[in-house]
Structure 1
Amino acid sequence: MTISSNPTASLVVVVGSTGKQGGSVIQALAESDKEYRIRGLTRDVSKPQAQRIATQGVEMVNVNLTADNADAAEAAFKGASIAFIVTNFWEHLDKAREVAEGKMLVAAAKAAEVELVVWSGVESVVEVSQGKYTHITAYARKSGVQLLIVQAAVYASNYHSAFALKKEADGTYTLGLPVGPSTVVPIIDVVHDYGLFVREGIESPEFGAGTEVLASGEDISVAEMAAQLGTITGKKVVYKQVSDEQYMAATRAPHHVALELLEMWKYFEEFRYFGDKDTHPSRQHLNRSPRTWADFVRAADWSSILV
């Protein structure tokens, strides 16, 4: 561990420090040979996860990063050389709230004069699809901050659930999605690897402000995902393209969320997750290799899912 208390070390402020992305960022920077002070932001510093992170030398700060709490956010960013910013739509399922909070965080980092803002952004699907699909626009690009965007690929852990896989009467498991079997998606084991890409973006001279990093372990078709899952686990797993209606019903989510997920998959099929961008250059300067889908499958416990 190289988390430092040296006042001359760069201070990195991490939003969502107890979450998957933020936690991965802290771990990756702790493994660096460079010195970093780290300040983790959380709503409740008394929670076990926050206390565990604090034992690593991270300064944990209690702050509620809602859109109406900009002054507290700015204070939390004060003195930082680098700020890692992420929003969490799945916590509240409210896109308008997510956009408002994201804009507030970027503005607060700018007001605090943070030298580099690392934004866990997503591709502007409105631009790529020429308006066909709606999504959060890249507000941070236009904010005037020194911006590094680190886009996370599809979470491999999304498929480590009973929701993603359905057991049929004959014992076969189906991975059912509303797209063709040749649809290719980039996959990342986010807890294990996302921070690697943030560290690369911060430390590698090939990246830094004004660039973007596409964080993925590999690009793989949905049919090949099913095939590898079956081969590695010894279960019969097949890919099945389902109707839009079947997919939306299977999500068991509110209608607006199910529609968001459906449109997301339609976008992936037609335009690819990162548009026409190549993910390979973003894996060239990592400190270790990220997990592939097969690596994730081998590392995960499927006993309660493929029962």
Structure 2
Amino acid sequence: MSKILAVFGATGHQGSSVINYVLNDPELSKEFKLRAITRDVNSPKVKELKEKVEVVRGDVLDRASLETALTGVHTVFSMTVPPPTSDSYEAEYNMGKDIADISVEKGAKYIIFSTLPPAKKLSGGKYTKITPFDAKAAVEEYIRGLPIQSSFLSAGTFMENFLEQTYMGPKQDADGTWVFARQISPKAQLPLIDAVGDTGKFVGAMLAEPEKYEGRTVSAATRFYSMEEIYAAIGKSTGKKVAYKQVSVEEFKKELVGVPTMMADFFIDAFRCQEEFGYFGPNGEAEVKWAAENARGKLATFEDFLERHPITLG
């Protein structure tokens, strides 16, 4: 009899990737029956999902719905999304904690939590406004103390973020060059992951060999890219003249006009922290290399991603 794998965030980048990967894997598709957990079971995205897997309502703000959604589940892929509120740290922490607590109460055997690095701790308290990272890291620490087998996926920067030009989009100079202005050095490094295409490959490895990944935090990315590499790749992909420009923090703030204050503070601190202390901390390069080598399938390079998802400038 197949074990039930409950997937939170089933219509988002990570959850949908996990579902599609397991459905298409010859071994895991036999081992697990998928249960997609979503807040709105009537959304357009869910309609398509219902044709492939069981869909159950589960709202992190409704404990009774979570208890129903997690009944009979063996394995849980858990993730949280930061709410746009002033108490976002506490709210997101409570979301992750509730999912974990109810998973244990309902007899689940294994939880894989989508975490992020503890930015405040890594920076020695210097950067305090990267709350989505710190809240998830606190949930990870909490889960480690529960009587359940656990592993943790810590994803790098989503390649999909570069398709979004709503905030911090480029400006075109008089000579036609598209200029991307950021506050960090062109040499600053970011770990990139095709979230939709490749999250499932990392989680698939964790599902296939749970003992190997017991207690492990997987730094999920294809590799680190410098800012100048990223924008050179975008220039090549678009066929446009693209330049990366390092600006002051004050100039960068001007690029964030229209961005909610809490999100703007996050962007400012996050970029600075990641340049100074590393996205995953001092051992990030080695951790990403190990994770990529052990992923269950070939990972997309940023160039591969841009070929499949062209960016339009102008």
The CA deviation at 1:178 is 1.2
1-structure distance, mates of 2:210, 2:271: 34
Q: Between Structure 1 and Structure 2, how many residues are aligned?
A: 295
2:131 corresponds in structure 1 to: none
- Tell me if the contact between 1:71 and 1:108 (Cα under 8 Å) persists in the aligned partners: no
1-structure distance, mates of 2:236, 2:83: 32
Counterpart pick for 1:27 among 17, 20, 41: 20
What are the superposed Cα offsets for residues 121-170 of structure 1, whole Å, 9 maximum, x if unpaired?
00112222222223324333333132110011101111113233222232
1:269 corresponds in structure 2 to: 275
Alignment of 1:46-57 (within 5 A): 46-56=42-52
Matched, 1:75 2:65: no
- Give the alignment's TM-score, normalised by structure 1: 0.90
1:153 corresponds in structure 2 to: 156
- Tell me if the contact between 2:93 and 2:138 (Cα under 8 Å) persists in the aligned partners: no
1:102 corresponds in structure 2 to: 96
- Tell me if the contact between 2:97 and 2:142 (Cα under 8 Å) persists in the aligned partners: no
Range moving further from structure 2, 254-263 or 93-102: 93-102
Matched, 1:232 2:237: yes
Range moving further from structure 2, 268-277 or 199-208: 199-208
Higher normalized helix content (fraction of residues)? 2
2:57 corresponds in structure 1 to: 62
- Calculate percent identity across the aligned residue pairs: 28
1:5 corresponds in structure 2 to: none
Matched, 1:14 2:7: yes
Corresponding letter in the other structure for 2:275: E
What are the superposed Cα offsets for residues 92-113 of structure 1, whole Å, 9 maximum, x if unpaired?
6833322221221122212222
Alignment of 1:54-203 (within 5 A): 54-56=50-52, 58-66=53-61, 69-89=62-82, 94-134=88-128, 135-136=134-135, 137-143=137-143, 144=146, 145-162=148-165, 163=167, 164-203=169-208
- Tell me if the contact between 2:57 and 2:69 (Cα under 8 Å) persists in the aligned partners: no
SS at match of 1:284: helix
1-structure distance, mates of 2:83, 2:201: 23
2-structure distance, mates of 1:132, 1:201: 33
- Tell me if the contact between 1:201 and 1:213 (Cα under 8 Å) persists in the aligned partners: no
1-structure distance, mates of 2:64, 2:108: 15
The CA deviation at 1:90 is 6.1
Unaligned stretches of 5+ residues in structure 1: 1-7
What are the superposed Cα offsets for residues 256-277 of structure 1, whole Å, 9 maximum, x if unpaired?
2101111011111011111123
2-structure distance, mates of 1:228, 1:15: 33
The CA deviation at 1:75 is 2.5
- Tell me if the contact between 2:238 and 2:310 (Cα under 8 Å) persists in the aligned partners: no
SS at match of 1:13: strand
2:299 corresponds in structure 1 to: 290
Unaligned stretches of 5+ residues in structure 2: 129-133
SS at match of 1:113: coil
2-structure distance, mates of 1:281, 1:202: 17
Counterpart pick for 2:251 among 240, 246, 269: 246
SS at match of 2:73: coil
User: Cα 1:29–1:112, aligned 2, differ >3 Å: closer, same or farther?
Assistant: same
User: Cα 1:217–1:182, aligned 2, differ >3 Å: closer, same or farther?
Assistant: same
